[in-house]
Structure 1
Amino acid sequence: MKTLSKLALAAVLATGVSGLAFVAPAMAKKEEQQAPGFKLSKPVQAIAYNAQQAVKAKDVATAEPLVAQIEAAATTDDDKYVAAALRYDLENTKLVLAQQANPNAPLNETALAKPLDALIAAANTPAADRGKYLFRRGQLAFNGGQYAVASQYFTKAKEAGFNSPDFDLQLAKVKVQAGDVAGGLADLDRYITAQKAAGQAVPESYYRFAIATANNKKMAPETLAWMQKYAAAFPNAKTWRDVILQYAFAQNSIATPDKAQTLDLYRLLRAAGAMPDQSSYEDYARMVSDRGNPYEAAAVLKEGLASGKIPASSTYAKSQLAAATTAIQRDGSLASSEKTALASKDGKIASATADAYLGQNNYAKAAELYRAALSKGGVDANEVNTRLGIALAKSGDKAGAQAAFGAVTGQPRAGIAALWNTWTQVGSAPAPAA
């Protein structure tokens, strides 16, 4: 049976949802045998205590006929309320026992619907309990695949004041299952915004649910927006790694970047301290080497070796690093390339020289040459603006970086720029300890 979450029935109202407390007839005066606030008829009053005690003791054999007698004898509204409450407690206890006996067996919860409906409808249901009954009824509907009905019950439960851990996530999930994906995600966003405004923590699971839901529905703009929110809420290396890999490298990613775009995603992974493995380091170094940028290739390989993600025994990395070092020695200073770039009729040499300065961590010079490339033209403006934003972000110019990233259009370039802009604003802390 499909469940909203892994439900531990023993912890869900299993000690008696009704809140009624009967006094043993032999130990109390007649008027004290009533449950507080209820006036029971004599036939119900006579057996209510024994029925409740049998349910509490999980003695189903004893409780069943007693509860049936109460149901048959009930004539007043209070009698009927007590009969429904005890029936619910008994059926819930049966489920608890069934789960304990065989945790993997499917559970048939349909017997709970009738007493829950009676408790919800009863005029004398205590206000503190109505939301609880509505929530449980919503669970039954959800488990039965009636998602629209479940959404209605959950909404009413919330209006009645019911709350529990992850209840707002459950509300969003059931709305999504009912077919209103945009509405469910909007509800979740409003809840997160309110929680943050109140200074309350929001679990990572909320963001992960939203990303997975939007991505599964091929809602690329919404997926990217939730990725940015997730990274901003948990700006550490692990989150950035998960977000970037999901964005462009996973099987169901929302972007299919070309080599130049992939390079700028590698740059973001590196900036966030989130490079995942040897393969990514070596692929990154190969890409920049192929584009005539040995400075960045050498820096990437040295970092990978120092981190241990590239093993010291990697002959391929060593040969790449040696080739990059030789190229740097052969090329010498970038001053001559810069002079040529500024004299050139288009911005291609300026862009390539800016890339080299970026690889040297000379962000001021990189930004100067990227701007020159844009002014001369003849280059991919979206690519150059992305890299101008990177240079400005790395130099600490958040406003300038935001403007450059904001000038990028078209996908997946605009998405890459958006992720870079989020990193510019929030940065990245080390990944949390496992």
Structure 2
Amino acid sequence: MKRSISRIALALALSTGAVGAGAAPAMAQDIKISKEFRPTAAELQQAVQGAKEDAAVTAASQQAQQARQAYVSAREPAAKQQAQAQLTAAQNGVDQALGGIRAKIDAAAAATTKPDDKYFVGQIALTAGQLMFDPKLQKRGIDMMLASGLAPAANVPTYHYFSGALAYDSGDYAGAREALPKAIAAGYTENDVRMLLAESYLADNMHEEGLVKLNDAIEARQTATGQPQTDLVFRGLAVAANNGLNDQAFEWALRTLEASPTADQRKQAYSVVASLSPYTEEEELDLLRLMLRENAISDERQYLAYLYQTDPRLRPGEARAVANAGIEAGVLDRNAQAVTETLSTANARYDSVLSELNTDAAGARNAATGKDAMTLADIYLGYEKSSEAAALYRVALEKGGVNKEKALTGLGIALADMGQFAEAKSTFEQIQTGNRTSLARAWMAYVDTQMAS
């Protein structure tokens, strides 16, 4: 049964750094200023010409740069507000050093009617925005250059990217979502553009759409690098889990297991899978078996659930192993009633059940169906007698009359325990229906890790 993830405590470290737009695109372009616009153009040109050599402009621009860095670094609301005030003041200082360039740009933009004039004003706005470290003004300039229709065709994808990146930097996430797809559609692939598009959704709390775009970014990176994008996949898990998207969280947790995660990421992924899985008790038992092998059982509740499902009367070997593992991990209290009763029953039954197994195995091989073979194989598995378990799982599959997916799961586990990882993986791959398909994915991720180690 699925359980709500709202109470699962996940220490999910998410990057919150600002996304820099990088160097602005080159502005060089042959344009012809209209006769009536030349006086305005000359005034604008004079305002920015030689700005880098002007000591007052340089000093004001440096202050704006420092203020921008402080604003980006600020995290607490009060600090952010103070940094914003300082940034605004610093940008106003640059504006004054440039002779009130903002007002001049506003007036010129309102007066432009011809493409060349519009492109020129866009260049000036971009330059002024760079000096002020003002992404909004930079974006305005680039958008005017694009709107003029005179941007060099080869540069248009790049211009769209910078328009989107600057929008993101200024908190205009809708503007980023408008511009970045145009860059992607035009073939732009640099600066992790797909990831920035995903971030523009996530930053606006559009989590479902953001996860779709995040998946696109992951696929693009994997294609480019040939490497699993572990941190990005885990980011998807974090977004889904922390925003109540339970179905997506379950899938992203499985993907995290498949993406060569760190030990901590693996444990958190298993926690999500265990909490949100649609598994029956029999299926959950095979998940807990996997989690024990991965050292991913982290709380008492899971250990006790495992003990309950093994039943020390039926599977004393496995029940004893699980109880001892929980005690050694410091999660189970040796003196707790459930633990002492489990160990007492398991120890009392251990030898007799094993003897019965060895006696009953021959009869199971001669039975009309594979039911008895399946039962015995499952118990052998708990005694860590993987060879005997694998043989009987094969008998069960051959004779039929059993849950095929369950038998394949057990056989895959036994093969993995014997170190026959390639055969184990091919066995898990045969599971194609029902809940056990996702369970098989988790086991295959484990097998892949073992083969790589």
TM over 0.5: yes
Query: Which residue is equivalent to 2:126?
Result: 85
Alignment of 1:232-247 (within 5 A): 232-247=258-273
Q: 2:291 pairs with 262, 269, 275, which one?
A: 269
> Could you list the per-position Cα deviations for residues 275-299 of structure 1 after superposition, in whole angstroms to 9, with x for gaps in the alignment?
2122222221221116711111011
| Contact 1:138–1:153 (Cα < 8 Å) also in 2 | no
CA distance in 2, matches of 1:420, 1:291: 27
The gaps in structure 1 that reach 5 residues or longer are 21-37, 94-108
Tell me whether 341-350 or 319-328 shows the greater mean CA deviation: 341-350
Structure-2 residue corresponding to 1:194: 223
CA 41–12 in structure 1, closer or farther in 2 if over 3 Å, else same: closer
Q: 5+ residue gaps in structure 2?
A: 1-13, 28-41, 65-89
Contact 2:260 2:449 in 1 (8 A): no
389, 406, 410: which one pairs with 2:412? 389
- Cα deviation code 1:304-346 (max 9, x no counterpart): 2122222344343122111111111443512112133223333
The 2-side partners of 1:157 and 1:54 are apart by: 37
Name the structure 1 match of 2:383: 360
Q: Which one of the candidate residues 174, 181, 198 is aligned to 1:152?
A: 181
Aligned AA for 1:388?
Answer: L
Matched, 1:339 2:362: yes
Aligned-partner Cα distance in 1 for 2:92–2:214: 46
**Aligned equivalents of 2:341 and 2:244: distance in 1?**
44
Q: Which moved more, 1:406-415 or 1:48-57?
A: 48-57
Q: Is the 8 A contact 2:233 2:256 kept in 1?
A: yes
Give yes or no for the alignment of 1:206 onto 2:226. no
Using a 3 Å threshold, how does the CA distance of structure 1 residues 239 and 69 change in structure 2: closer, same or farther? closer
Q: Does the Cα contact within 8 Å between 2:195 and 2:217 map onto a contact in 1?
A: yes
Which of 298, 317, 322 is the matching residue for 1:295? 317
For 1:351, give the aligned amino acid.
Answer: M
- For residues 121-270 of structure 1, the aligned pairs below 5 Å read 130=159, 133-139=162-168, 143-146=172-175, 148-152=177-181, 155=184, 159=188, 162-163=190-191, 167-174=193-200, 184-185=213-214, 187-197=216-226, 202=229, 204-211=230-237, 227-249=253-275, 253=276, 255-270=277-292
Taking structure 1 as reference, are residues 81 and 415 closer, same or farther at Cα in structure 2, changes over 3 Å only? closer
Q: Displacement of 1:42 after TM fit?
A: 5.1
2:141 to 115, 118, 121: 115
Report the TM-score, using the length of structure 1 for normalisation: 0.70
Partner Cα separation in structure 2 for residue 386 and residue 47 of structure 1: 71
1:54 to 45, 56, 60: 60
Partners of 2:26 and 2:333 lie apart in 1 by 63
Q: Residues 168 and 347 (structure 1 numbering): CA distance in 2 closer, same or farther, change over 3 Å? A: same
How many residues align structurally? 381
Structure 2 equivalent of residue 316 of structure 1: 338
Superposed CA deviations along residues 58-114 of structure 1, whole A, max 9, x for unmatched, are 455543344355564989979745631354246645xxxxxxxxxxxxxxx866643
Question: Which secondary structure does the structure 2 equivalent of 1:257 belong to?
Answer: coil
**In 2 relative to 1, CA 262–61 (structure 1 residues): closer, same or farther, beyond 3 Å?**
closer
Question: Match of 1:64?
Answer: 95
Amino acid at match of 1:319: E
Query: In the alignment, is the contact (CA less than 8 A) between 1:52 and 1:86 conserved in 2?
Result: no
Q: What is the CA–CA distance in structure 2 between the aligned matches of 1:60 and 1:185, rounded to whole Å?
A: 34
Normalised to the residue count of structure 2, the TM-score between the two structures is 0.68
Any conservation in 1 of the 2:123–2:142 contact (CA below 8 Å)?
Answer: no
Amino acid at match of 1:390: I
Q: CA RMSD, aligned part only?
A: 4.4
Tell me which residue corresponds to 1:417: 440
1:216-248 per-position Cα deviation (integer Å, ceiling 9, x unaligned):
89796x877754543243255433332332224
Q: Is the 8 A contact 2:61 2:131 kept in 1?
A: yes
- State the identity %: 23
How far the C-alpha of 1:141 sits from its partner, in A, is: 8.7
1:412 and 1:284 map into 2 onto residues whose CA distance is: 19
**Displacement after TM superposition at 1:420 (Å):** 1.1
Pick from 380, 386, 392: which aligns with 2:403?
Answer: 380
Note if contact 1:154-1:171 (Cα within 8 Å) is conserved in structure 2.
no
